A and B are shown apart, each in its own frame.
Chain A
Amino acid sequence: MEIFLTYLKVFAVGGVLCLLGQILINKTDITPARILVLFLLLGAVLEVTGAFKFIEEFAKAGITVPITGFGGTLARGAMKGAEEEGILGGVLGGLRAVSGGLTAAIFFGFLFALIFKAKTKPN
């Protein structure tokens, strides 16, 4: 039962974030790149203000899987680095924290773009 509740919370928070994004798409002419940047910055701001941790405790992957998690993890890594190793740690910590996802995106992006050819989009 507890695991069901956890997934329900993950689903609800993740779903609501995407719903907010969909409202932006429907109501404005904002481009996908801008939406991603907006949610990334939202995640970073939530982390810096300390709110991210509470949402994460409640919603787990519901906040970390959306791009807010990318921004939050980056900010957390930078702050943790600054705390432990000073200014150099602050510079190193951000990208270090998200290096897994970033490396995977670039590596698999390159690999699959070599292997697969884009199909012509149906109108």
Chain B
Amino acid sequence: MIEAKAYQEYVKQSAPKTKMMSTLLKAFLTGGIICCTGQAVADIIKVIIPDMSKENIGAFVSITLVFLSALLTGIGVYDRIGRFGGAGSLIPITGFANAVVAPAMEYNREGVVFGICSKMFVIAGPVIVFGVVAGVIAGIIGLFI
């Protein structure tokens, strides 16, 4: 264990320092652009269907962004956005969609069931589990207020 720790320290020292400011700026820009895309989708659908409820507009925006992200992941473009944007491409819902599609694609040669269907939840699984648990807790809190 001590050797492993010492080795990690050594790697940390010898590895080139990440260009902190540059990665932060890129994450900020990428995240900002993706959020503005979502806002634009919401504003456009509000013009087309004025009666749509706020909840449904939110759902529509999510579905649109997830579709775009899945498609861009499929054709290999989201990978490039990810290399540029870092967390800026991970934290928006497009990053969640990418985390579903990318491993599913990666493992599709292992078959539909154990390749695609299992691996699509490698990253999304924990997110869904924590989401559902947090939702139940929120529901219980909602009972008392």
Contact = CB atoms under 8 A, between A and B. Distances in A.
Contacts of A24: 87
Given A65-B35, A104-B66, A112-B70, A35 B105 contact: no
A6 B36 CA distance: 9
Contacts of B66: 101, 104-105, 108
Interface of B: 18, 20, 23-24, 26-39, 42-43, 55, 58-63, 65-67, 70-71, 73-76, 79, 85-88, 90-93, 95-97, 99-102, 104-106, 108-109, 112, 116-117, 120, 122-124, 126-128, 130-132, 134-136, 138-143, 145
Contacts of B70: 104-105, 108-109, 111-112
Contacts, number: 287
A68 B93 CA distance: 9
Interface of A: 3, 6-7, 10-26, 32-37, 39-41, 44, 47-48, 60-62, 64-71, 73-83, 86-87, 89-91, 93-95, 97-106, 108-119, 121
Contact of A65 (B27, B92, B139): B92
Contacts of B58: 64, 69, 73, 100
A100 B61 CA distance: 9
Which has the most chain B C-beta neighbours within 10 Å: A6, A74, A121?
A: A74
A19 B87 contact: yes
B74 A22 contact: no
Contact of A26 (B23, B62, B105, B109): B23
Given A61-B61, A100-B63, A113-B108, A18 B87 contact: yes
Nearest to B120: A109
A116 B37 CA distance: 25
A68 to B, nearest CB: 8
A83 B93 contact: no
